[in-house]
Amino acid sequence: MLSVKELKDGDGIYFKRVFDQYHQKLYFFILNKTKSEYIAEEVVQMAFAKLWQSRQTLQEEYAISTQLFRIATTILIDFLRKYNNKDAVTARLDGLDIDAGIDSTTEKMSGAELQKRIWEAVKELPPVRKQVFEMSREQGMSYREIAETLSVSSKTVETHIYKALKQIKKYIV
């Protein structure tokens, strides 16, 4: 049986033994709950990182597995809350009047003129914002796909899209 004391002592080799013994079990536990390989991988990685970071506060009267699964469950709950909140924010951003403002402007301009102005506005965006906007609108990528590709949070992607739409609206109105 693996000992909490050895883990508390900061033994890296011992931590690897804990990782090897529980990684797959924890992964399938989270996968069973979420049905998402992505979430399972993220939560498991975060749980082991948290286990190592908080090893000094582990309680010796509880098994490592109990504490690890408790950590993972807490992380999963937090992760799902953030994920659901981001979806709500994304829906709100997508429904803002910025899009309606662009749509009403399109009625006033010819298609070619509007395309030219939008292209000019996109050209003026800061490089990262421009890249995010093009990935979303031209390549049809979701915020989550963009976030994974660029190694940023979905919230960062949402912010870039929001600011890009706002800047484009100002440019073409």
pLDDT for res 24: 94
Q: What is the mean pLDDT of residues 131-151?
A: 86
- Give the Cα separation of 93 and 86 in Å (integer): 10
Answer whether residue 78 is part of any domain.
yes
Cα–Cα distances in Å, from 98 out to 48, 67, 165? 42, 47, 6
Burial 92-104 (b: 16+ CB within 10 A, else e): ebeeeebeebbee
pTM reported for the whole predicted model: 0.50
Q: Tens digit of pLDDT for each residue in 87-125?
A: 554 554 455 444 444 444 444 445 667 677 778 888 888
Tokens read off for 10: 């900061």
State how many domains the chain has.
Answer: 2
Q: Tens digit of pLDDT for each residue in 27-47?
A: 999 888 888 888 888 899 999
Answer whether residue 90 is part of any domain.
no
Domain holding 104, by residue range, is 95-172
Indicate whether 81 and 99 sit together in one domain.
no
Amino acid making up residue 82: K
pLDDT for res 25: 93
Q: What percent of the chain has pLDDT over 90?
A: 13
* 100 or 22, greater pLDDT: 22
Indicate whether 42 and 114 sit together in one domain.
no
What is residue 36's three-state secondary structure? coil
Answer whether residue 167 is part of any domain.
yes
- Give the Cα separation of 128 and 136 in Å (integer): 12
Q: Which of 29, 60, 85 is the last residue of a domain?
A: 85
CATH code of the domain containing 154: 1.10.10.10
Indicate whether 17 and 37 sit together in one domain.
yes
Is the pLDDT assigned to residue 152 strictly greater than 70? yes
